[in-house]
A and B are shown apart, each in its own frame.
Chain A
Amino acid sequence: QVQLQESGPGLVKPSQTLSLTCTVSGDSISNGAYYWTWIRQHPGKGLEWVGYIYDSGSTYYSPSLKSRLTISIATSKNQFSLTLTSLTAADTAVYYCARARHSGDYEDYWGQGTLVTVSS
């Protein structure tokens, strides 16, 4: 059974940098049939796609976050990560990691999500 688990700080100060890691179990992150996605959800709001990464390291980012965002992958650890700089209160959200299938391009497995609050 594929499982994804987000980890990282729950509280970050404004202007600081957020680092989140998604650990994948039950599948190899190097499985070329998939790519690895971050999606966030502001409190009480809808879903916002953040970006994704292939096992090759190629990335695609949301244009609204591109200048502050880096997604990386550590195949030896079966993990991928999100780094978001210059945080503001607008970055307060639940952050989800997910696995997406190349064939059809849909997220079939999701982590449980982690709430990140940006506050001093």
Chain B
Amino acid sequence: DIQMTQSPSSLSASVGDRVTITCRASQSIRSYLNWYQQTPGKAPKLLIYTASSLQSGVPSRFSGSGFGTDFTLTISTLQPEDFATYYCQQSYNTPRTFGQGTKVEIQ
């Protein structure tokens, strides 16, 4: 199985901050990397697919980059509704695997 490792596991930030979350795969997954946002009690929501494509309806302050094994999710200007847990997922092969999550908390 491909292991996905996110860092940090949690972070504290303020509204208006720029936030970066990284995701590393245990082997090359090319661009088959997706990012999801989850708020408590809700289903995950797709933000970014194939590493850098913004899902329709997702604000442009979210962006993704990377290829191979190292990927980044950036929130350019953190908004109150962005406090949530973020997961990366590889879809290069099965079994699909997720990172352990990064919780973004209010500082």
Name A's B-contacting residues (CB within 8 A). 46-49, 60, 62-63, 96, 104-108, 110-113
Contacts and interface: CB of A to CB of B under 8 A. Distances in A.
A106 B53 CA distance: 11
State the 9 A-B residue pairs at the shortest beta-carbon distance, nearest first: A105-B91, A110-B43, A49-B96, A106-B49, A106-B34, A47-B98, A60-B94, A104-B50, A46-B101
Contacts of A110: 43-45
Interface of B, secondary structure class, is loop
B46 A63 contact: no
Given A63-B95, A104-B91, A106-B91, A47 B32 contact: no
A104 B49 contact: yes
B100 interface: yes
Contacts of A62: 95
Interface of B: 1, 32, 34, 36, 42-46, 49-50, 53, 55, 87, 89, 91, 94-101
Given A49-B89, A105-B91, 10 more contacts: A47-B36, A47-B87, A48-B98, A62-B95, A63-B95, A104-B32, A104-B49, A107-B36, A108-B49, A110-B45
Nearest to A37: B96
Contacts of A96: 43-44
Contacts of A111: 43
Nearest to B35: A106
A46 B87 contact: yes
A105 B97 contact: no
B93 to A, nearest CB: 9
Nearest to B85: A46
A106 B99 CA distance: 15
19 contacts: A46-B98, A46-B99, A46-B100, A46-B101, A47-B36, A49-B89, A49-B95, A49-B96, A49-B97, A62-B95, A96-B44, A104-B91, A106-B50, A106-B89, A106-B91, A108-B49, A110-B45, A112-B42, A113-B43
